[in-house]
Structure 1
């Protein structure tokens, strides 16, 4: 008996010492999720008996779960909820709930995690239930009376009117405190863990990682993983205490980290474009509860003008032309999108680079008929001051974000690629205002070496072909003279060619549509022509584009009219892909 009491005392002391450190919540390593990813999620256990549910980290206060009764409206393809898990309140001996109705506009905090996913994804639904129940995880044991928002019927609407069910919920990242109102009851995980001394602070650090790049996700309560943070680090205020992770985006650029460039330039700035030319920056929210880059339509157009993609109005997304040689070259090269932000409290700026390798997501049923590569820029215009642009999971594959709820500070920094250093989980205090990075830009570049295939330097368009080797001194005077004359003529031709290339790159890639034949033609910036014939989709799924390269000199570019781009879909089931207008 005495030995048992002593052993229990020693064990409790050990648990207490270990519990004072950060809590790491591993991501699911065997299943991936989403119709537009794939994405990684965090598994937790809810209720007694315990029910396994996988969730995307993000949002504040209640954990958003899918209920057993969630309606799979128009779901004709893979049912992810059978894998991600649903919450059955009738099985939960500890659960207690009350009905809460949320607006069909999707603007309620309950169904979208409270970080603006509702307007960005056009969420709608009829009801949600507010519950409190026990949450279990091997890293912290159990947290009783955790607040849950159980979704019965929530979906997001595509531009063509189709409703796609929400298939994965959101693991709340907490809040400064938990408001005890009729909509919110119970507690949240980081607040409860810090209040009970299991972690040192009400803080969290997140890098969602990447399935395609084999970067495991990282979620830490009570601290962060230093191995996921590359300088420069931006520190900013979150004034409301509910996760207002807002920052000013100044510009978007295309760049190349090393080697040759798959474009005719090494860097192209000025891609952040809005409908109002006087606006030089926009407010954005890094947001793991939405999937895409939800940015002004003009910005998406200015970026994709240099990419072999086509805009599909029924999806509101851009589809990669995988038959274009430029597609594989861009995706596998050290090319990236650079997002330049205003450094908080400083005259300096800082940049987060997102490799194009990460911007090659896969759409699956029910969004499309077959797996389709997607460039995840979603044209989006806020309808009110309460709405904002979002940099969703596509961006956060390459960025670290973290927060200290106690002093309302949050951090953002560049995250590394697949070659990760050993995990360095670091505790934060309640009033911590700084975090530490592991290294700088040189390390970020090397962390992608296992994935990138650098191009030869002479491929780079803005530098031109490499200079030929010096001619032999044994050449005759006549041959030398001929070389000089040829070199002069060649130089003149080269300069003219450079001018034409640069002029061409200022134009948009062309998508041509022959309404009579229902054929679609794409011309990339190298002048290569591709043709696609779209099968009927029966009004259910987005068209599948199968591209075929046209013979050189094809007259199609002269016969097909170029139509201006329109984002309003003609109607459900339409197969029209309208052309991208060319700038003069």
Structure 2
């Protein structure tokens, strides 16, 4: 009876969401990025689990198992490998290893051996230890960056999703089974959280804006409605835009739309996957080119990244302004309005460090992705700095929404953890449209009208670009355009006159010659001219006489005769009609 009572108390009191602790350290080399902190090691029979565990920092976003670097895996690489901590398990591995992790957009290749281990997770005020969690000790570990540099990442990855096989099992197996799970599944299986779900917003390490990860729930202070939702992990991206939230635009073109294009350079919607594992915006190359043309950004063939032109005066104006890159998605079922998630350019001013480059350089995280049919376009960590991502395994529902800025206390709109029910397909959110601007108010500076940027992109212009703007692009003045038009019209008129004279002259010559050859006499060329044509001579010349009805008059007496000056050359006038000899 006592056991039953204790079990009942455990079930009814422990079914609450669990927030995860975030590390005070940040990581690169293409961020900086926030990471979570968990403790791993030991097993259910440990007498002192705390002493057997090690603290590990992990990026969020792997599948099937949480992958943790081992000291043996990092031995082959430099000192950066394992910066987030290493774990060498002392338990017997699970017979069935997880599939290798090959993330095509970020070229991450991971193999590991899965061990059932204990994980202590939570915040300082509320921590939980769960057992028999799928933890993969990494055997081989590498990432190949766009410039072909291959290195080991600084830290491993925390699993949010376990793959459909594990998710199906999570919904069909009875709770309390001893089979290993990923952390969220274990917490749900052991009656600690109310649903096999999570809510994620990774914040901004550069702005000291910590992330938010809640298992079995979400933080209402990290989401601004409306949201889009769909079944599964994919959603439809309709367009990418550029605009400004408040004040004058820092762009000479005001705002722009139709920046999203497919691999053929045509405006098109794309099926995309919001995914915290890859770092950038992994989209068609033409889309990245469209964005670069609007910004002080250029494609660097050495690093194969789009780099910010930090010497351009508009660079500082843009990244410190309320300007943003807008990602437009289809609405949630039952809603009519599309959902736009705004990513301020301050969040898209990321830094490449060693081992990718020898010295830090600012880059724009649109990374051209040569996608295969088996993969998906991805919106990675750069996008999720400004977006909320949630998922409920039981209903197979994904939510995607605008996240607030850092706010006054670098906690968004404040800490408001909420449960996600096992059957939930909707979320309770704030819908005040002013919250986004308010949460960013202390972190950007509105552009002054006199400072509006006249910059053009540092990237080569792409003739296939299909982008549109609401104002004319900067160019020649109206007066210059008018002068050019007048000049063109005058030129056309002169050319037309010349062609007309030549054609008419040729026509006359043809008519005169034809009459001469036929020996015709006194044939009128034109009564309005009063000339008559005489028969051709044996030399082939044609002579013209004044008509006989014209009087011959002498010059009046006051007309003074003058000779040409001796310094002037005398030219004979050519005959108006050329005839053949």
Query: TM-score, structure 2 length as denominator?
Result: 0.70
CA-CA distance at 1:192 after TM superposition? 1.9
From 168, 172, 176, the equivalent of 2:159 is 172
Q: Does structure 1 residue 328 correspond to structure 2 residue 316?
A: yes
Moved more, 274-283 or 314-323: 274-283
Shift in Å at residue 411 of structure 1? 0.4
Superposition pairs for residues 413-562 of structure 1, below 5 Å? 413-419=401-407, 420-460=412-452, 509-510=458-459
Counterpart for residue 130 of structure 2: 143
Give 1:393 shift. 0.3
Residues 74 and 61 of structure 1, relative CA distance in 2, 3 Å threshold: closer
Shift, 1:161, TM fit: 2.9
For residues 313-338 of structure 1, the C-alpha deviation after alignment (integer angstroms, 9 at most, x for no partner) is: 34331111212211111110001000
5+ residue gaps, structure 2, are 43-51, 170-177, 462-472, 476-581
Supply the distance in 2 between the matched residues of 1:160 and 1:170 (Cα, whole angstroms). Answer: 23
- Determine if contact 1:232/1:440 at 8 Å carries over to the other structure: no
Of 1, 21, 30, the match for 2:16 = 21
Distance 1:510 1:315, change over 3 A: closer
Paired position in structure 1 for 2:181:
187
Whole-Å separation in 2 of the counterparts to 1:425 and 1:141: 16
Q: Show the counterpart of 2:93.
A: 96
Residue 37 of structure 1 aligns to a residue in which SS?
A: coil
How far off is 1:444 after superposition? 0.4
In structure 2, the residue matched to 1:46 is: 40
Q: 1:111 maps to which residue?
A: 101
SS at match of 1:362: strand
Q: Is it true that 1:389 corresponds to 2:377 in the alignment?
A: yes
- 1:60 is displaced (CA, Å) by 3.2
Partner residue of 1:312 out of 300, 304, 324: 300
- How far the C-alpha of 1:415 sits from its partner, in A, is 0.2
**Cα distance, 1:374 vs. partner?**
1.1
Larger deviation, residues 163-172 vs 306-315: 306-315
Whether 1:122 aligns to 2:112 is: no
Specify the SS of the correspondent of 2:83.
Answer: helix
- d(CA) in 2 for partners of 1:319, 1:433: 40
Superposed counterparts of 1:35-74, under 5 Å: 35-48=29-42, 49-71=52-74
1:155-201, Cα deviation, whole Å (9 max, x unpaired): 12234432121222111124466278xxx972122222122221111
- Are the counterparts in 2 of residues 47 and 95 from structure 1 also a CA contact under 8 Å? no
CA distance in 2, matches of 1:62, 1:340: 32
Q: Identify if the C-alpha distance between structure 1 residues 526 and 215 changes in structure 2 by more than 3 Å, giving closer, same or farther.
A: farther
Q: Distance in 2 between matches of 1:268 and 1:389?
A: 22
Q: What is the aligned partner in structure 1 of residue 83 from structure 2?
A: 83
CA-CA distance at 1:509 after TM superposition: 3.3
SS class of match (1:285): strand
CA separation in 1, counterparts of 2:195 and 2:418? 12
SS of the residue corresponding to residue 440 of structure 2 reads coil
Matched, 1:134 2:111: no
CA deviation string 1:45-99 (max 9, x = no partner): 1113112111112233311111221146664xxx44343011212xx3x453558
Distance of 2:239 and 2:428 partners within structure 1? 26
Residue of structure 2 in register with 1:377 after alignment: 366
Structure 1 residues 370 and 12, CA, compared in 2 at 3 Å: closer, same or farther?
Answer: farther
| Change in 2 beyond 3 A, CA 1:510/1:192 | closer
Equivalent in the alignment of 1:264: 252
Check the 8 A contact 1:417/1:447 in 2, yes or no: yes
Superposition RMSD on alpha carbons, in Å?
2.9
Alpha-carbon distance in structure 2 between the residues aligned to 1:298 and 1:415? 27
Residue 369 of structure 1 deviates from its aligned partner by: 0.7
Q: Aligned partners of 2:287, 2:415: CA distance in 1, in Å?
A: 36
Structure 1 equivalent of residue 508 of structure 2? none
8 Å contact from structure 1 (residues 58, 287) kept in 2: yes
Q: How far, CA to CA, are the matches of 2:218 and 2:245 in structure 1?
A: 27
Q: Whole-Å Cα distance in 1 between the matches of residues 92 and 193 of structure 2?
A: 25
Counterpart Cα distance in 2 of 1:68 and 1:98: 22
Output the CA distance in 1 between the equivalents of 2:348 and 2:303.
17
Partner Cα distance (1:195, 1:185) in 2: 10
Quote the residue 2:145 is aligned against.
158
SS at match of 1:366: coil
User: Quick one: structure 1 residues 152 and 418, their matched pair in 2 at CA, closer, same or farther if it must change by over 3 Å?
Assistant: same
Alpha-carbon deviation of 1:311?
A: 1.3
Q: CA deviation at 1:110?
A: 3.5
